[in-house]
Structure 1
Amino acid sequence: MKRPSFAKVSRYAVCGVAGAMIAMLGAKAAGLRFNATPSIPVGVYRATGGTAQKGDLVAFCPPAAPPFLEALRRRYIEPGDCPSGSYEMMKRILAAKGDRVEIGGQGVRINGRLVPDSAPQLADGAGRALPRLNAAWTLGDGEILVLGDSAASFDGRYFGPISARQVTASIKPVVTW
């Protein structure tokens, strides 16, 4: 049996990768997002209309701020087409304008109530120190705090509040597993 040439195999690989990229772009244009991280359940989500509210799942482009740039370098977040050079992140809005947020070693408190499983990890899986916040804010107009549904999520417990302008879409699960 004759083996295909390296050039032919390479063409197939390039065509496969190009096809996957086109499918992903088409899916995003259709409002679909895929999550493969532990932050929220793995699966396919669709963008919904309207303004994001507390409790909603959202996709957002992280700003080009030091914690996000370090997360990108360490590959907690993947490279993508956001202005900061990363892919959109997907989290849940847990606090918004007027909410009192405290972040410390015990975890995240919102209006005095400790969020379950919100204690920050001291190090990542490779043993590298994670950012540590020990701060409190009352969120202003246009500020939100996003957290993942998992204790292993890289989220607001490490970077604090973000601007609601970073949100690109409210999302709802289509199929998760």
Structure 2
Amino acid sequence: MTLTKLALIRHRPQWRRLIPVAFTGAVIASAVVAWNHGDWRLNLSPSEPMGLWSVQPYQVDDPPHVGEIVTLCPHLPSGYNYSWLGRDQVSNTCPGGGTPYIKTIVAGPGDVVHEDRHGVTINGVPLPDSRPLPFTTSKPQLALPQWRGTITLKAGQYWAYGAGDPRFSFDSRYWGPFSRTQIRSIAHPIAVFKYLYRPHITN
């Protein structure tokens, strides 16, 4: 083989090597869409462990309990810009097209919840990393609603918490307790991992 032919072979376009990569990416994207429209959910929010979850329809006659992980559609306070939340393509969306949140129930009927600017306590016990943020970590930074006060949860009321990376979870700290009628499904982790979110905000 001459040096000229060898040089041509070495410089031959390598685009064909990208075909398997592109095909694999298309298959994964299709699978994600299928999961999100069935009994599976791909969670990309660090507020709960990221990865693949199984979601089963919530039975209204079966009360949820503390420690259970659910997807829910809470009523968000009016007067705030929620464009930073985005819109994932999932089935069983919230009214208005929002994506149901995956959150852990940390308090239920009879529990006393207190929140101030320092964080949340439940029956006097502090929730780890529950100090609320005044602004989003998105750019531009937007004001977040702030729930404040003390409440004894009534029948059918619960408190949501992002147990993955709670420092940046958008949960009951910002919109208060939720009702069991706002629960969409019960979620179970299948293949997940915890991710510590590190926002990059420059003033």
The two structures have a TM-score, normalised by structure 1, of 0.77
Choose 1 or 2 for highest CA Rg.
2
Task: Kindly tell me the number of residue pairs found equivalent between the two proteins.
Answer: 159
Q: Equivalent residue of 1:70, what SS?
A: coil
Match of 1:3 in 2: none
C-alpha deviation, 1:136, in angstroms: 1.2
Q: Which runs of 5+ in 2 are unaligned?
A: 1-25, 194-203
Structure 1 residue 165 corresponds to structure 2 residue 181: yes
Q: Percent identity?
A: 30
C-alpha deviation, 1:48, in angstroms: 4.1
RMSD: 2.7
Match of 1:54 in 2: 66
Contact residue 62 and residue 86 of structure 1 kept, 8 A? no
- Cα deviation, 1:45-72, whole Å, max 9, x if unaligned, reads 10247643111111112336527x733x
Aligned CA distance change for structure 1 residues 25 and 142 (closer, same or farther; 3 Å) = farther
C-alpha deviation, 1:123, in angstroms: 1.8
Q: Which runs of 5+ in 1 are unaligned?
A: 1-15
2:97 pairs, out of 81, 85, 93, with: 85
Match of 2:45 in 1: 37
Question: Which structure 2 residues correspond to residues 1-177 of structure 1 after superposition, within 5 A?
Answer: 20=29, 23-24=31-32, 26-28=34-36, 30-48=38-56, 51=62, 52-63=64-75, 65-66=77-78, 70-71=81-82, 73=83, 75-78=84-87, 81-125=93-137, 126=139, 127-149=141-163, 150=165, 151-177=167-193
Q: Which amino acid aligns with 1:88?
A: P
The two structures have a TM-score, normalised by structure 2, of 0.68
Contact residue 77 and residue 89 of structure 1 kept, 8 A? no
In 2: Cα distance, 1:90 partner to 1:77 partner: 15
In 1: Cα distance, 2:108 partner to 2:160 partner: 9
